[in-house]
């Protein structure tokens, strides 16, 4: 994904995807006790972060690469590749917004439509509390990414 963003000169998207990987590493570090962490996977992920970051911060990337014990330049290393099969999951995490503000997340089947997503949204306690006493004006689904709900107060003024 970062590779495609770089090829299309979509640098903000590339940086965003690198941050997603960094955030996933933070969550892994937080959720998995140190004794149970797979050091090989963590090192591989950190190496990938440094390689992806290097085009944006070359001096920093080079220094991190050397500190990780790599002899050659980060720019002479093999660019990270990905396995499409791993990327295709059965479920996706979707953000739910109410009047433009993120109010929660739901997990849904990939490519789920509004008929499937509505019950999931209305079953989520974090989201439902922002809908109480309000009329739903719009329920918009951006496939596999987000649900946006526009509401207004039902009470007369």
The model's confidence at residue 19, banded by pLDDT at 50, 70 and 90, is very high
Range(s) within the chain of domains with CATH label 1.10.730.10? 2-85
User: Poorest-confidence range of 38-52, 81-95, 107-121?
Assistant: 81-95
The model's confidence at residue 157, banded by pLDDT at 50, 70 and 90, is low
Range(s) within the chain of domains with CATH label 3.10.20.590? 91-153
Print the SS3 string covering 88-132.
CCCEEEEEEEECCEEEEEEEEECCCCHHHHHHHHHCCHHHHCCCC
CATH top-level class for 2-85? mainly alpha
Q: Does the structure show a pLDDT above 90 at 90?
A: no
The model's confidence at residue 82, banded by pLDDT at 50, 70 and 90, is confident
Q: Determine the pLDDT at residue 64.
A: 96
The model's confidence at residue 98, banded by pLDDT at 50, 70 and 90, is very high
Q: Does the structure show a pLDDT above 70 at 88?
A: no
Per cent of the chain over pLDDT 70 is 96
The model's confidence at residue 119, banded by pLDDT at 50, 70 and 90, is very high
Do 24 and 31 form a contact (C-beta atoms < 8 A)? no
Q: Does the structure show a pLDDT above 60 at 102?
A: yes
CATH of domain 91-153: 3.10.20.590
Q: Determine the pLDDT at residue 155.
A: 66
């Amino acid at each position: 994904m970062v590779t495609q963003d770089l090829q299309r000169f979509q640098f903000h998207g590339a940086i965003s995807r690198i941050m997603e990987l960094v955030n996933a590493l933070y969550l892994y570090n937080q959720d998995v006790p140190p004794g149970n962490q797979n050091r090989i996977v963590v090192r591989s992920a950190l190496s990938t972060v440094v390689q992806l970051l290097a085009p944006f911060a070359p001096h920093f990337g080079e220094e991190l690469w050397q500190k990780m014990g790599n002899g050659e330049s980060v720019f002479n290393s093999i660019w990270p590749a990905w396995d499409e099969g791993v990327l295709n999951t059965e479920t996706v995490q979707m953000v739910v917004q109410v009047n433009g503000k993120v109010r929660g997340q739901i997990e849904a089947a990939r490519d789920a439509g509004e008929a499937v997503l509505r019950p999931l949204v209305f079953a989520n306690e974090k989201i439902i509390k922002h809908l109480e006493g309000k009329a739903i004006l719009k329920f918009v689904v951006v496939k596999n990414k987000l649900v946006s709900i526009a509401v207004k107060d039902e009470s007369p003024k």
